[in-house]
Each structure stands twice: as structure tokens, then as C-alpha cells.
Amino acid sequence: MPLDSLRSPGTQVETDPASAREKAGPGLRSRGRVIVERVWPEIDGGRFPIKRSCGEAVTVSADIFADGHDLLAGVVKYRRVPAGRPSPGDPRSAEPAPRPSAQAGRTDVGRVLSDPPDPAWHEVRLIARDNDRWEGTFTVTAPGDYEYTVEAWVDRFGSWLKGLVAKADAGQDVSSELLEGAEIVQQAAAQAGPSSLGENLRLVEIADMLRGASPQVARVWAAKDPSLRALMDARPDRTASTTYDRTLICRVDTVRATFGAWYEMFPRSVTSDPSRSGTFREAESRLSDIAAMGFDIVYLPPVHPIGETHRKGRNNALAAGAGDPGSPWAIGSAAGGHTAIEPGLGTLDDFDRFVRLANRLGMDVALDIAFQASPDHPWVREHPGWFRHRPDGSIKYAENPPKKYQDIYPIDFESAEWESLWNALKDVFLFWIGHGVRTFRVDNPHTKSFRFWEWVIAEIRCDHPDTIFLAEAFTRPTVMRYLAKAGFNQSYTYFTWRNSAHELRDYLNELTKTELQEYMRPNFFANTPDILHEYLQTGGRAAFEVRLILAATLAASYGIYSGFELCENEPVKKGSEEYLDSEKYQIKPRDWNQADSLRELIARVNAIRRQQPALQQNATLSFYQADNPNLVWFGKWHPAGRVLVVANTDPHWTQQGWVQVPIWEMGIGARERYVVEDLLDGAKYAWRGEWNFVKLDPSERVAHILVVRPSARSGTP
């Protein structure tokens, strides 16, 4: 299939005759007087979908106005798109028919999806806000895609009634106006369906009343009857309505795409003998401890065979020593490639057993997908055209100057054989989905084709809409944003490098108060095998505590890399963010029963997250004032309750000050006494009014996670 046969993601698919009519331009006359513009949320003119998880609300707003002074009305229209149906902006929509595939069950790049659209639109009424802005809200309930748009019209009955009342109140004769109203009501009765027969008869009676011989005041009162307005609102005249000129998409995921606690572990390090790799059977022993700490996802680095050629040694040494296991990201050997298991870890059956046990403990398994190959990968021999060659015929290894990765060959997404390559990479995802994995952390997606990600994620979602893709892309903001638009459900962020109170406020406001909130879901990893920030290197135990609490409460999804609970903080050298004796290059057994482990704090924080729905989303995050710049003070709200968090971002010194409690949002009086409880340890504090004092000594506590206990409020003295 030639590249130009892929339809541009910017092309819109018309799903409504009204949309086609409006987009035809000024040459087509229309009676529609209403203008609908600036619909929100809409990402890049509707090219990309917004994102929600099951149970979340979508609030749609638009500027809606018309000539003259008539009243207007409108609705948000929405419907769930049947599984497999191409969405507007989906590059699959215009692809040619698939060619037969030699591999059973495989779907080719040219897949066609032809399920008919669901004709059943649901509607919610728009509510007028300020300055011609209207909004309406609907809730998404199932994974997949939802369409939504806005339709508005002149409210003929409402406009008539407004004029009638104004004239009647001024003592004017409204006999003509009553006849006009009778005609409007009569038409509504005629347009209603047979299922509304009783209501239709009622409307006919009211129409007769309006044009009858009763006193004018009685007929005006009949017109003002709220029950008539309800009947007419249910039967608006929409023959000259205006529908927004495009249908927008909301991509809906499972709750885990928004909320979850991740734990990254290397199974090979779960061994009593550091001279050999631990197996999946041995790694099972860690699962109950990880579950006890309250994690939802166990994330594994690549589990595939590791290459021998140019294998890296300890601390990223260019030459491996005897017995060095190499980097799991140097994928492929004589034992296989991306759909094989590293022999030192066991077998595919052992992996399946590991996944089943994790599931029984209430956890999902996430797998690292790194689309690159060691020089020993079978693809290098079987598909040399999938790699970029130098003029001398050799394959160019990966580089990020001054870093060199001689043990890794990048894949050439611009290869002349790109179709077979793309399908093979998609098959990697499908293979592991077939083995119980629905969550993938994708390594360095910003170094691979954006168009590939748009295509492959959309393809996978057709049959597996519950699949989650996390983009590990610590790169430029525009690139991170595009990957989120292209389909990644979650994104790594700059959280690791945002450590002061003002840095956190600025960054979180960017993530939650701009258009990013509509499509980019942050996952706050406090550390990774690649990133040991200076804050953790120098801040001691208190630094680990505060970063844990901030990651877990600022973001609905967060994660830690194993060793965090042991406060591992020694860099390979000063000024580096690499760990000394990095687990990426060696087997690293640990004593998980150390007395100073953070596992109890981690378990408590994760329990709080599960108990408090406010912490399971990001949309309601708000920062409040504190008079000490080292204190970060914020809250999240949910109908089930509000959580307030104050943390000392200085891990070395006691910080104290006054924080402004948002009592204006909580229904608490200016001088009212109330009690706040710290969910971390159950301590209770008597507070009063708006400003209250906090003191955080890093040697004792670094933060409070607070709730107001309504039963303890004593009222204004």
C-alpha cells in the first residue's frame, strides 16, 4: 500500500446531513439563523480525540448566537461508536482493502472497517452561561470511541412567550400574539409522534384555549403554565437548526488509564545468587509484597532474549565481563526476538503463570516494549531491509551523542519494506495481549515514526479497547504532546525535575488547567532505572518520603522503580542521574526486609488513594496560598469528599507557616471551628476559619494528607 493512500488524519468524516450542508459554504442558502462556533473541547480542529475514562464527564461548551433578540436552545449530541468503526481523523478510514496474509489471524496494514454507524444519538440540553457561551455535560460509560457535536436553534415558543408576557405585563392587547402562540402549539402537537398521543391532545386543547373566547388574562395564564413550557421544550422546532460543522471524538479508556499505582521491577534480580538470573518462578515471591504495598500494576522491563554482540558490562562498561547479563533493552539472540522469553527468566509458560498470579493478587502486568534490536536479533538476518545501513553495508548502531549503544540497532521506519515491518511490530503487541498483557510502557516512542504510533494504537484498540499505552518520552514538550494526541493513553512527564513548590504549581497548572487536560494523562514516576535526581541523591529519607506523597497525590497515576522503598540514592558519579551499579546492566538482589524501608508509608499512601475518589483524578486539582515558599499546599475535590495536602519541599530543614484553607468552597464560616484529620497517621488538628498554621519537620513528618471531619465541626462560637 503506498503511503499516500493513508488518508490525512486532518480529513473529517461527515456523519450528519446538517454538517455537510453547513460545510458546503456560502453558496448554499440555509434558513438557519443560529451560529455555532468555538466548540470546546476540540483538539487541533477535531483532528485528534479528547480522552476520558469510564464514568467521567465530558462538558461541551460553544459560542451560540443569532441575529435579533430571539431566545435560543440547543443540545449536545453524543453516541458511542461501534467497535471497529473508523473515527473522524483516523487514518484507517480511507485505506484500501486488506491483502491476504500468510499468518493466520493477522490483520494487514490495509485493514478496512465497515461496521455501520450507530444511528441513536443521545442528547443533553445546553445551558446558557455568560456572553453567549453555552454548555452541556454527558457521561461516558464504556471503553471505545464516542462522537459528540452541538446543535442549536431558535426557540420559537420561548421567544413568543417572552414577548407575550412583556406586553401583557405592560397592559397591552395581546390577542394577536395569543393567536400566534396557538399556531406554534398546534404545530408542536402535529409534529409529535404517536407515543405522545395524550400529550398531543393536551397541546391541542391548549391551542384551542389560546385562540378561544376566554378572557385574555386567563389565556395568558394558560400560556405561562410551566407544564406547557415543559411540553414545548420536549418538542422544539428544529427544522432550521444549525449543527456544528464537524463531529468530534472522545476516546474512552478503562479507569486504569487514569488511575493506578505502578511498581517497576527486574525479575532477574529476584535471586539468592547474584551470579545467575532470577526466574519468573522466583520473581513470584515478590508479588505478594508488591500487592501488599497497594500497587495496581507490576511493570517489567523487556523480558526477551538479550544479545551477546557488544553486550554492555556493569555500569554501562563497553565490554561485558564474564557472567554479565547485559541490558534487557538489547533485544534478540539465537533464542529469539520480541516474542520470545530470555532463557534465564524461564519459559513462556512461566511468564503466563507470573501474569496469572499477579492478576489473582489484583494487579495487572505491564510490559516494556522497545522497538530496537541487538545485532543478534533474528530480524537482522531475516529482514535486513528493516534496518538502516551505512554506505559500507554495515548497520548503524544507536547513538545519543556522546552516548553510544553499540549493542542496539535502531529500526528503520522509513524502510522500503515498511509495510511488513509495521505489521510485524503490531504483531508483537498482539502476541503479548494473547498472553494476558493489556498495559504497555513503550520505550522512547519519540524516536520512532509518529504515523506508526497513530496507526498501530488505533489498530490495537479496534479489538482491544482496554489496552493501555504509556509513552516513555522525556523529550521536548511539543513531541510529548503529539504522542499523547497520537493515541498514547498516558505520558511520562517532567515531574522528576520539578521539586520546588513554585515549580510544582506551575507545572501542574499547565497539565491540569490548559488544553493538555483533555488529552494528555500524566504518570508521575518518582524515579526510574535511568533517572536518580539530585533531589533524591542529597535529600535523604525525607526526600523519598515527600516525592512519594507528592507523586501519589498530585497525579492520579504514579510509579516508583524498585529500590525506591529502600532509599537507594548513590549515583555512578557526581553530577550524573545514573545509579551506581545500575540494575540495567547487572543482577541486583536486595534485602527487602530492611528496618528502614518505606514500604509501610507506601502502603498507607496507596490505601488513601483507593479510599479517596478525589485522588483518583486530576481535573479538580487546585493550589492554595501558603506564606512559606517551601510549602506546597493543594487540594482535590470529588462529590465523595475533599482531600487537602501540604508538603515540605525542603528535605533538610523544618518549614512552618500559614496556609489558606478554601473554606469558601467548603461551606465553612469565616470564624467557624472545625477539625482536620491527617489520613497518614490519624492525627487530628483543631482549625478555625481561613488561615491556619502548619509545621513540618523532615525528621518527623514531611506532609499532611488532610480531610475535614464534618461531624467534628462545632459551628461559629
Confidence band, pLDDT 50/70/90 cuts, at residue 581: very high
The x, y and z cell numbers of residue 699, run together, are: 525528621
- Catalytic pick from 245, 296, 350, 443? 443
Q: 3-state class of 182 per DSSP?
A: helix
| Residue 29: pLDDT over 80 | no
Give me the count of residues in the chain: 717
Phi, psi angles (nearest 5°) of residue 687: -115, 165
pLDDT tens-digit readout, 44-68: 999 999 999 999 999 999 999 999 9
Does this chain's domain 157-233 share its CATH topology with 622-712?
Answer: no
**Cβ atoms 558, 490 nearer than 8 A:** no
Average pLDDT over residues 592-598: 95
Angle at 293 between CA 292 and CA 298, to 5 degrees: 95
Chain centre to alpha carbon of residue 707: 26
| Residue 467: pLDDT over 70 | yes
| Residue 598: pLDDT over 70 | yes
Characterize the bridge pairing of strands 398-400 and 372-373: unpaired
SS3 content of the chain, % helix, strand, coil (to 5): 35, 25, 45
Q: 3-state class of 57 per DSSP?
A: strand
Using only C-alpha atoms, the chain has a radius of gyration, in whole angstroms, of 31
pLDDT for res 82: 74
What's the CATH number of domain 3-155+240-252, 3.30.1330.40, 2.60.40.10, 3.40.47.10, 1.20.1090.10?
Answer: 2.60.40.10
> What CATH number is given for 622-712 in this structure?
2.60.40.1180
- Catalytic pick from 145, 147, 245, 472? 472
Residue closest to 449 by CA, chosen among 54, 157, 123, 109:
109
Query: What type of residue is 64?
Result: I
Strands (E), 269-316: 297-300
Instruction: Return all residues near 715 (Cβ < 8 A) that are at least 6 apart.
Output: 669, 672, 673
Characterize the bridge pairing of strands 144-154 and 248-253: antiparallel
Higher-scoring residue by pLDDT: 8, 132:
132
Confidence band, pLDDT 50/70/90 cuts, at residue 398: confident
pLDDT tens-digit readout, 224-278: 999 999 999 999 999 999 999 999 999 999 999 999 999 999 999 999 999 999 9
Q: How far is CA 40 from CA 50, 136, 515, 518, in A?
A: 10, 11, 10, 10
Whether residue 472 lies in the annotated active site = yes
| Residue 416: pLDDT over 90 | yes
Instruction: Return all residues near 514 (Cβ < 8 A) that are at least 6 apart.
Output: none
Residue closest to 632 by CA, chosen among 643, 644, 641:
644
Q: Dihedral sign for Cα 38, 44, 47, 50, please.
A: negative
pLDDT tens-digit readout, 270-282: 999 999 999 999 9
* Burial category of 669 from C-beta neighbours within 10 Å (exposed 0-12, middle 13-18, buried 19 and up): middle
* Burial category of 26 from C-beta neighbours within 10 Å (exposed 0-12, middle 13-18, buried 19 and up): exposed
The fold of the 157-233 domain, in CATH, is Methane Monooxygenase Hydroxylase; Chain G, domain 1 (1.20.58)
Average pLDDT over residues 313-323: 94
Q: What is the mean pLDDT of the chain?
A: 90
| Residue 649: pLDDT over 80 | yes
pLDDT for res 191: 81
**Alpha-carbon gap, residue 452 to 443, rounded angstroms:** 14
Residue closest to 439 by CA, chosen among 489, 398, 402, 400:
489
Locate the domains of the chain by residue range: 3-155+240-252, 157-233, 262-615, 622-712
Characterize the bridge pairing of strands 631-638 and 622-623: antiparallel
Q: Which helix (H) or strand (E) holds 299?
A: strand 297-300
Query: What type of residue is 2?
Result: P
The x, y and z cell numbers of residue 240, run together, are: 432550521
**375 upstream amide cis, omega within 30 of 0:** no
Chain centre to alpha carbon of residue 380: 36
**Alpha-carbon gap, residue 359 to 251, rounded angstroms:** 26
Q: Which helix (H) or strand (E) holds 16?
A: none
What's the CATH number of domain 262-615, 3.90.950.20, 3.20.20.80, 3.30.470.20, 3.40.50.670?
Answer: 3.20.20.80
Chain centre to alpha carbon of residue 558: 13
| Residue 103: pLDDT over 60 | no
**Cβ atoms 603, 292 nearer than 8 A:** yes
Q: How far is CA 593 from CA 49, 570, 583, 597, in A?
A: 46, 20, 19, 7
